[in-house]
Amino acid sequence: MCGRYAASFAPDDLLQDFDIEQDRSDERSRSLLVAPQDPPVGAPDWNVAPSKQAPVVLTRAPRDEPGATPLRQLRLLTWGLVPSWAKNPKIGLRMINARSETLLDKGAYRNAALARRCLVPADGWYEWQASPTVTDRKGKPRKQPFFIHRADGQSVAFAGVYEFWRDKSADEGDPNAWVVSYTIVTTAAEPGMDRIHDRQPVVLDRDQWASWLDPTLTEPDDVRALLEPRALGRFEAWPVGKAVGSSRNNGPALLEPAPRSDLEGVVDPMTGEVLS
């Protein structure tokens, strides 16, 4: 967790909702994908997977204007944080999530958590529930994908941190010299959602967005305070089809509830009932 999420919007759709002051979604940094991204970078994507580039909101002073006031920007960054000291950017595949409990202790995340925080807009996220009663052909617990989102219909904003990595073998002016990447901060799943998985993303409420993006907020205790659990009952979830398990599949159909007949051994997250 979190290994897949839905972002069914174009960058332009986020400008007003997230109070964007500078749209830089037309800028590109180096992609870590071997094949072209599908759907294309910046297009609606119902199955965002690690190494894809996706919309991220951050507050940063324009690089070409020394001393300028930091602006809330919209950018397209790579999912899977690549630390600035990494020898190979492929390390990002192992760093798609950062645990909130150790975010400020681990060297790979600490500096970013204090200076480079971001919001990751989403419709919601997918998680896989291991059945307590039914096994697959290999004798392992059958896994059922769920889609989870805010019950109040508000925009989902994951807490994230981002980082810059430079390929020192590339020329100074080469646009592919830089990988700009992010990770999603996770925490213990709240009651009910923990029947699906024991972890979930840190979803920040709208009244927390400005503080999380504030570059002057640099005290570890202040950052930790923003990661504290919020009111229970913010989320709802339903089982979806197994098509989401392949990153080649996409489209709004991925969010449709799975037929009851397909839900053998699935636990209802709200009631704890095992469906058979």
Q: Break the chain into its structural domains and give their ranges.
A: 4-275
- At 68, the pLDDT band (50, 70, 90 cuts) reads confident
pLDDT of amino acid 1: 60
In three-state form (DSSP H/G/I as H, E/B as E, the rest C), the secondary structure along 149-216 is EECCCCCEEEEEEEEEEECCCCCCCCHHHEEEEEEEEEEECCCCHHHCCCEEECECCHHHHHHHHCCC
Is pLDDT of 173 > 90? no
The yes/no answer on whether domain 4-275 falls in CATH 3.40.640.10 is no
Is pLDDT of 4 > 90? yes
Ramachandran region of residue 6, left (φ > 0), alpha (ψ -120 to 50) or beta? beta
For this structure, is 118 an active site residue? no
Average pLDDT, the chain: 94
Which is more confidently placed, 227 or 64? 227
Is pLDDT of 236 > 90? yes
Is pLDDT of 232 > 70? yes
50: tokens are 């690690």
pLDDT of amino acid 66: 73
Q: Which of 27, 101, 127, 219 is catalytic?
A: 127
Residues 138 and 220: their CA atoms lie apart, in Å, by: 45
Among residues 138, 183, 188, the alpha carbon closest in space to that of 165 is found at 183
SS3 of 119, please?
strand
pLDDT of amino acid 26: 93
pLDDT of amino acid 219: 96
For this structure, is 127 an active site residue? yes
Q: Report, as an integer, the average pLDDT of 20-48.
A: 94
Residue 180 near residue 135 (C-beta atoms within 8 A): no
pLDDT of amino acid 131: 95
CA distances to 81, 118, 132, 148, 166 from 84, in Å:
9, 17, 42, 32, 7
pLDDT of amino acid 223: 97
What are the tens digits of pLDDT across the range 149-172? 999 999 999 999 999 999 988 887
